[in-house]
Amino acid sequence: MVPEKINIVAAADRQISEVFDPHVVGDVNDSQVKVAKFGAEFDWHSHAREDEAFLVLRGRIAIDFRDGVVELREGEFVVVPRGVEHRPRSLTVEPVVLMFEPTTTLNTGDSVSARTVSDLKRLWA
């Protein structure tokens, strides 16, 4: 079987209409690769048992921490260690961000809110 390739940014533009609505791009062992468009600011949250990685595909984002901020441009990557409280936000209009995290990871971590997405949609080519 030949795997199907996907242009993640183009597919996100066609299929994702809301900010902070993660879609699964693929499964890798016990983890998922997810993509989302980011908005003004997300909820403060942490993930007690899961590290979370962010790779900016388009635009710029900031990830606020209680003791500082990390700004990411296209092509830049950061890992947020488990248990570290953080809040992602956009610095440009609807940046597209790839996230790598265990399948069990909720987007709002330990803080369940109206933004919690537990039934993830899949992105297709």
What are the pLDDT digits (tens) for 16-57? Answer: 999 999 999 999 999 999 999 999 999 999 999 999 999 999
Residue 118 inside a domain? The answer is no
Residue 123 inside a domain? The answer is no
Residue 117 inside a domain? The answer is no
- Residue 42's domain comprises 8-111
Which SS3 state, helix, strand or coil, does residue 15 take?
helix
Task: Give the pLDDT confidence score for residue 24 in this predicted structure.
Answer: 98
Residue tagged 């440009």 (tokens): 92
Does position 12 have pLDDT exceeding 90, yes or no? yes
φ and ψ of 12, to 5 deg: -65, -40
Residue 73 inside a domain? The answer is yes
Q: How many residues does the chain have?
A: 125
Residue 120 inside a domain? The answer is no
Residue 94 inside a domain? The answer is yes
Residue 2 inside a domain? The answer is no
**Do residues 9 and 58 touch, judged by C-beta distance below 8 A?**
yes
Residue 23 inside a domain? The answer is yes
Does position 125 have pLDDT exceeding 90, yes or no? no
Say how many domains are in the chain. Answer: 1
Q: In sequence order, which residues have a C-beta less than 8 Å from that of residue 21 and are 6 or more positions away? A: 36, 37, 117, 121
Kindly report the CATH number assigned to the domain that includes residue 68: 2.60.120.10
For 94-124, the pLDDT digits (tens) are: 999 999 999 999 999 988 899 999 999 999 9
